[in-house]
Structure formats: C-alpha cells, structure tokens
C-alpha cells in the first residue's frame, strides 16, 4: 500500500441513455407526492446507470406536464434532499413542462389550451381529448 497515492480517476466518458419510462405516482398526499415520485425517478435512474456500468449520473431529464400533478419546484426540492450520497449527487435535473394539448372531436383540430379553459378556440366545442400535459416521465440520463 502506498498511502499517499490517490486512486486514478476513471476516464469520464459521458453517454446519454434514452429512458422514456412513465413514472407511477406512489402517493397523492400533498408535499409527500413529489418526494415519493423523485424516489421512484432515482430508483429507475440508478438501475439504468448500473445497466451502463456507470458510476455517476450527470443529467436527469424529466417531463412533468401541467396536468401531471407534479410541481417542478417541489421536484427540485425533493431531488436536492434525496440526491446527496447517491450516484446522482451534484447532477443537473432538467424538467420540461408541457402545456395542455387538446384535440377537438367536432372540428378535428389540435390546439393548446389553458389548464383552466379547454374550450376549442375554433368551434367553441366542449368535447375534446387531452393529448398532452399529463406527461410524467423520465426522458433521458447522462451518465459516466
């Protein structure tokens, strides 16, 4: 043993892992919601990193639509409290926030809607399918 010799750091080779996994909400209790979600996200991220023989997670990209029930600030906060001491410590969390996207079944058009007003702007129709805004998923990871 040479006590003064530092271990050689591994070569940093960053690779991106496309993930695309829907996250299952574990609990619906306010405040605890994002914490259990983030636990779930990190669990998946660690598993993906292991599959790549990676030791470190650098970037976590997520999508949390405005109708997903998850608040980005609360996800950030949950991440900051869960990441220390894990391979995701110091990683950057990027959260995309898709808005509400509707499809009018009457005039067959897609449109962006506010979370408070889904009425079709073209025909005033009230029958629509929600096609976006409910996304809650882990999109990709950068690991090394």
Nearer to Zn ion, 45 or 120 (CB): 120
Tokens for 123? Answer: 């025909």
Length of the chain: 144
Cβ neighbours of residue 21 under 8 Å, at least 6 residues apart? 44, 137, 138
Q: How far is the CB of 112 from Zn ion (least distance, A)?
A: 13
Which DSSP state fits 16? E
Q: How far is the CB of 108 from Zn ion (least distance, A)?
A: 8
Residues that bind Zn ion (CB under 5 A): 104, 106-107, 120, 122-123, 125
Nearer to Zn ion, 75 or 104 (CB): 104
Q: How far is the CB of 104 from Zn ion (least distance, A)?
A: 3
What CA–CA distance (Å, rounded) separates 60 from 42?
Answer: 9
Nearer to Zn ion, 16 or 106 (CB): 106
């Amino acid at each position: 043993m040479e006590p003064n010799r530092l271990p050689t750091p591994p070569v940093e080779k960053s690779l991106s892992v496309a993930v695309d996994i829907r996250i299952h909400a574990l609990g619906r209790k306010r405040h605890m919601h994002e914490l259990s979600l983030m636990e779930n996200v990190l669990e998946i991220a660690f598993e993906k990193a292991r599959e790549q023989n990676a030791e470190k997670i650098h970037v976590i990209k997520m999508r949390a639509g405005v109708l997903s029930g998850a608040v980005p600030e609360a996800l950030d906060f949950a991440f900051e409290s869960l990441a220390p001491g894990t391979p995701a410590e110091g990683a950057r969390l990027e959260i995309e926030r898709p808005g509400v996207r509707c499809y009018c079944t009457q005039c067959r058009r897609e449109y962006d809607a506010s979370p408070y007003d889904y009425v079709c702007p073209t025909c005033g129709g009230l029958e629509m399918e929600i096609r976006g805004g409910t996304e809650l998923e882990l999109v990709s990871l950068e690991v090394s």
